[in-house]
Amino acid sequence: MSDVLKTTPLDALHRELGARMVPFAGYAMPVQYPTGILTEHLHCRAKAGLFDVSHMGQATLAGPGAAAALEALTPTDIQGLKPGRQRYSLLMAENGGILDDFMVARIGPEELFLVVNAGCKEADFAHIAANLPAGTTLTRHEDRALIALQGPLAAAVFARIAPDSASMSFMDVRDFEIAGIGRCRASRSGYTGEDGFEISVPGDQAEVFVLRLLAEPEVAPVGLGARDSLRLEAGLPLYGHDIDTTTTPIEAGLNFAINKRRKMTWDFPGGPVLRDQLDNGTTRLRVGIQPDGRAPARDGTEITDATGRIIGAITSGGFGPSVNAPVAMGYVEKAYAADGTPVALLVRGKPLPARVVPMPVVPHRYAR
């Protein structure tokens, strides 16, 4: 395996802006800028943060039966997805585990647009391509960048560049011709719990586009560090930490991704497993965890009951700048999943008090 990191079209600009670059999913990515993670996080909550997510995989699935073919791999009603709309979906394993979570948008009658996680994109695209009927093709868009503009002022900022975007609602997808940039595709969605957009732009125009956004007074660049703390406060699971092939959508609280029509047949990988879990329950559930005090609980920290018996583990944890306190999520035995349940976290062999809390800890502010 090569140790050489890939770069996004914005690599030079990140370095020019003083970003601290780190390896992430095989790419050199900005973890923070000179203002620091705390400032970047709070700026996104108050104004508009700009994120480079170009490492994620973008592709078009087109041809007769495209929606049916993709639907056969997921629990989502993709055939019923209307043009100009997007859904959160899951690629499923036969054991009921999750191969990846991704976004799918209907662009036309026989055209879908996919955005998958960076660390899974090679396996995801190979899996999808191997299950397509004749005449249906998967085309990757390695020549495009993906920019997330997130925060309560993101819509006002983007409307100055793409005026028609102001009429979009949460999970709408629309193409725009932006002067000096070319054809762009924006979805009103994101990974922070805030209102905002994810915008696919030509890679060779990405820097011009980002500089135009950064020229707006409300916008500041935000790195991976604050992206993680923002999604953690919003209760959004991260693939490879909070969900993976050992977790099911039912355990993870992602039941909404299993649409009503799919529950009539359960004809997708892992369907019988999920049906049994919905009928009979699971042994564990993903929950929010609030540690007492100021010490954050990190990924892998064991969770115990009052007697010291291990009942689960933290899958994501850190400091939540918006609530000025540590925030975490993880899996616990179902009997301990009720909000307010006292638990303990084993940190360096010492039990520290904590409790189960509702997610998200910071309310979502999507433009519904």
For the residues of 66-78, what is the DSSP string, one character each?
A: HHHHHHTTSSS--
Question: What pTM value is reported for the model?
Answer: 0.96
Q: What is the pLDDT of residue 348?
A: 85
Q: What is the pLDDT of residue 2?
A: 53
Statement: residue 226 has pLDDT above 70:
yes
Distance CA 71, CA 120 (A): 18
Q: What is the pLDDT of residue 349?
A: 86
Q: Assign residue 160 a region: left if phi > 0, alpha if psi is -120 to 50, beta otherwise? A: alpha
Q: What is the pLDDT of residues 113-125, one digit of tens each?
A: 999 999 999 999 9
Which domains, from first to last, does the chain contain?
Answer: 283-357 (2.40.30.110)
Q: What percent of the chain has pLDDT over 90?
A: 97
Q: Which residue has the tokens 């050992």?
A: 246
Q: What is the pLDDT of residues 325-343, one digit of tens each?
A: 999 999 999 999 999 999 9
- 90: Cβ contacts below 8 Å, ≥ 6 apart: 74, 75, 76, 98, 99, 100, 101, 102, 249, 254, 257
| Cα-based distances in Å from 234 to 52, 90, 229, 320, 321 | 19, 19, 9, 10, 12
Statement: residue 250 has pLDDT above 70:
yes
Asked if 242 contacts 252 with a C-beta cutoff of 8 angstroms, the reply is yes
The residue-averaged pLDDT of 70-99 equals: 98
Distance CA 105, CA 318 (A): 32
The residue-averaged pLDDT of 186-207 equals: 98
Asked if 153 contacts 218 with a C-beta cutoff of 8 angstroms, the reply is yes
Q: What is the pLDDT of residues 152-178, one digit of tens each?
A: 999 999 999 999 999 999 999 999 999
Q: What is the pLDDT of residue 36?
A: 98
The residue-averaged pLDDT of 286-312 equals: 96
- Greater pLDDT, 2 or 181: 181
pLDDT band at 347 (very low <50, low <70, confident <90, very high): confident
Distance CA 208, CA 205 (A): 5
Q: What is the pLDDT of residue 3?
A: 74
Q: What is the pLDDT of residues 7-56, one digit of tens each?
A: 999 999 999 999 999 999 999 999 999 999 999 999 999 999 999 999 99
Statement: residue 1 has pLDDT above 50:
no
Asked if 74 contacts 23 with a C-beta cutoff of 8 angstroms, the reply is no
Statement: residue 191 has pLDDT above 70:
yes
Helix axes 37-46, 224-233, angle to 10 degrees: 50
